[in-house]
Amino acid sequence: MIEVRNLTKTADTGTHRVEILKGVNLTIPRGQFAAIMGPSGSGKSTLLGLMAGLDAPTSGQVILDGVDISGMEEDALAAIRGRKIGFVFQSYQLIPTLTAEENVLLPYELNGNGAGDGAKRAIELLEAVGLGDRRDHYPVQLSGGEQQRVALARAFMARPPILMADEPTGNLDSANGSHVLDLLIELNKREQTTLILVTHDAELASRADRCIRLRDGQIDSDESR
């Protein structure tokens, strides 16, 4: 379960301060599929990054399975992230010097596993996202949508209990977008993975258990079905 309490984030641009998040409260139970929507600039990516412990809040707390991760040391945070969270960045953040398959394997190896069985799962995941024949390609040899699917396979690799993704279907055509969404939902159902997805995609949001809308750094609406 993830609890967000009175979360604020302020950025200092040098000339002025911008309040990006203005006191957000949320509880996301285990196994929920939550979509975060809202206009560009409303604070969606910032909220997701704070929930994943990728950035520290200005004030407030993020509590992950009972542990307050706000203000935790980077080493401890990295260990928690490695065990609990798969994260797909809006900009993919693949490592340019590694192939698709090596990119997918990396977090698994960083968690202290040997490459052995990992390679089999990495290949299965690349096949599942439709890139079985691209596993030896480097990121520059892949389109934006293909890189996005490699980033998803990488996030699935360590079987994280929580998967967070920023616009996971944003650069995919509708067929690939639907396919990725099916994969995410299958993961949510089969492995009880908590899914928190930032999206503009109405189809994706319509299939979520819950839709949280942000506006100007605050929750504008929060609807469950």
Q: Which residue has the tokens 């192939």?
A: 99
Report what 40 binds from Mg ion, ligand ADP, none; CB cut-off 5-8 Å by kind. ligand ADP
Q: Which CB, 42 or 103, lies closer to ligand ADP? A: 42
Distance, CA of 127 to CA of 153 (rounded, Å): 9
Q: Which CB, 13 or 97, lies closer to ligand ADP? A: 13
Site of interaction with ligand ADP (CB under 6 A): 11, 13, 18, 20, 38, 40-46
Q: Which CB, 42 or 193, lies closer to Mg ion? A: 42
Helix, coil or strand: residue 159: coil
Q: Strands, E, within the chain: which ranges?
A: 2-12, 17-28, 33-37, 59-64, 67-68, 85-88, 162-166, 194-198, 210-215, 218-224
CB of residue 15 vs ligand ADP: minimum separation in angstroms? 11
Give the CA distances from residue 57 to residues 7, 73, 137, 199, 204, in Å, rounded to whole numbers and listed in that order: 7, 13, 37, 22, 28
Question: Could you tell me how many residues of this chain bind Mg ion (CB under 5 A)?
Answer: 1
Site pattern 15..54 for Mg ion (x: CB under 5 A): ------------------------------x---------
Dihedral pair phi/psi, residue 17, rounded to 5°: -100, 135
Counts of helices then strands in the chain (DSSP H, E) = 7, 10
Report what 42 binds from ligand ADP, Mg ion, none; CB cut-off 5-8 Å by kind. ligand ADP
Q: Which CB, 128 or 163, lies closer to ligand ADP? A: 163
Question: What is the binding site for Mg ion (CB under 5 A)?
Answer: 45
